[in-house]
Amino acid sequence: MDNFAHLIYGYEKKVETCRGKKRYINFDNAASTPPFKSVMQTITEAAAWYSSVHRGAGFKSKYSTERYESARRIIAQFIGADLERDVVIFTKNTTDSINKLSHYLPWLPGEMIIFTKVEHHSNELPWQNHNHYCVPLKNNGLDLENLEEVLRKNAGKVKLVAVSGASNVSGYLPPIYSIAEMAHAYGAKILVDGAQLIPHRPIVNPPWDDPRHLDFIAFSGHKIYAPFGSGVLIGPRSLFEKGCPSQVGGGTVKGIGPQGIIWNPPPENEEAGSPNVLGAIAIAEACQTITAIGWPALIAHEKRLIRYALKQLAQIPELTVYNAQDQERVGVISFNIQDRYHRDVAEYLSAHYGIGVRSGCFCARRYVAELLSLDYREINLEKPPGMVRMSFGCYNSPEEIDIAVEGLHELVDTIKKAA
């Protein structure tokens, strides 16, 4: 099995546990990945030459501007964006990207937004104040027949179909290219929330004239081994030329005169203030590192981890896995242990084994409630239900899974003895 741990900055760090110091095992990659060493090295080198971008005449300013714009080109190539027609906008993160896109809804034809029941809140809440529809689940996936029926009945009236590229709860991979084709057939655009997809699978955007083309793509650096507070929004340049930018300030204005404000063209008009230059450079370097490793090796490694983890977890009868299939998914596994609150399980693994997992609803309450057979509108906010989530990065190993499973077995035995 491939081992990419040597690529990760801070991999050998130890943490205090009730059993002494242990090397930290990070199974919380769906929240944030650690940085690649290559990213840290690139940031250190670029920081020595850091300066303002675009408007400075000094050498450092010109250097930083070139690195910043080069990052835009690298990311476009990584995604398959056509810079003749698409624009790569640097944002704070995926949430910021999607909110930025929501500002431009008035310039998209139609009147309805469609999102799905597997969405993270970042791809649900921005649409709540608009005429919207939520696609239900069917057979552990999205009900695509329902989606097509809604699109057909509202042909020409749907502005946008917003869908996650991969679920941060179950690892489920919605068929984004099929959904794109379906949306376009009925006159709608598609937005892919790529936050969970970007570190696990290539997002190869088909050409503009291909019905499977992805109109908008959003993702975060901190999901792709570049955790420095930067994100990306990719979409058609022509849309971001409409009206007033979503935020205004330095860098957004070409001129102000008697005729009013003349805005800069995109992407400058959507990057108000001094941008996160080092964050953009970090994302580009992470993209290049992933390209150097190669997607076939990364995907094969992750599939082996998923298969192994599901097999080992199945040996614990008291443990319920939500979406136990090992095909067509990314490395996100959510579960619960009978008679134990999800937060307590996460705390036990951390305190005794130095393992980091996530617990709760993962900012996806509709989906979690569905999987738990609950009404999300009637959840007890004092002690909300949820799950425990293990999520893999490219550097995790079967040996780390063994340690986590050992801890879960031990916890179950403790529960039995206390009963």
State the sign of the Cα–Cα–Cα–Cα dihedral 417, 324, 176, 375: negative
The domain ranges of the chain are: 5-30+294-418, 40-292
pLDDT digit string (tens) for the chain, length 419 residues: 577 999 999 999 999 999 999 999 999 999 999 999 999 999 999 999 999 999 888 999 999 999 999 999 999 999 999 999 999 999 999 999 999 999 999 999 999 999 999 999 999 999 999 999 999 999 889 999 999 999 999 999 999 999 999 999 999 999 999 999 999 999 999 999 999 999 999 999 999 999 999 999 999 999 999 988 999 999 999 999 999 999 999 999 989 988 889 999 999 999 999 999 999 999 999 999 999 999 999 999 999 999 999 999 999 999 999 988 877 899 999 999 999 999 999 999 999 999 999 999 999 999 999 999 998 677 777 889 999 999 999 999 999 999 999 999 999 999 888 87
Q: Is 222 helix (H, G, I), strand (E, B) or coil?
A: helix
Judge whether 5-30+294-418 and 40-292 match in fold. no
Q: What is the DSSP letter of 240?
A: G
For residue 16, report the phi and psi dihedrals to the nearest 5 degrees.
-75, 135
CATH number of 40-292: 3.40.640.10
CATH number of 5-30+294-418: 3.90.1150.10
From 377, 340, 308, 406, select the one nearest 19 (Cα to Cα): 406
Q: What is the DSSP string of 102-159?
A: HTTGGGSSSSEEEEETT--GGGTGGGTTSSEEEE-EETTEE-HHHHHHHHHHTTTTEE
Enumerate the β-bridge partners of residue 134.
115
The active-site residue out of 134, 244, 361, 363 is 363
Instruction: Tell me the Ramachandran region of residue 7: left when phi exceeds 0, alpha when psi lies from -120 to 50, beta otherwise.
Output: alpha
Q: What is the pTM of this model?
A: 0.96
Six-digit token string for 104: 């431009």
Nearest-10 Cα torsion for 164, 29, 329, 133: -20
From 295, 290, 351, select the one nearest 15 (Cα to Cα): 351
Active site residue 18: no
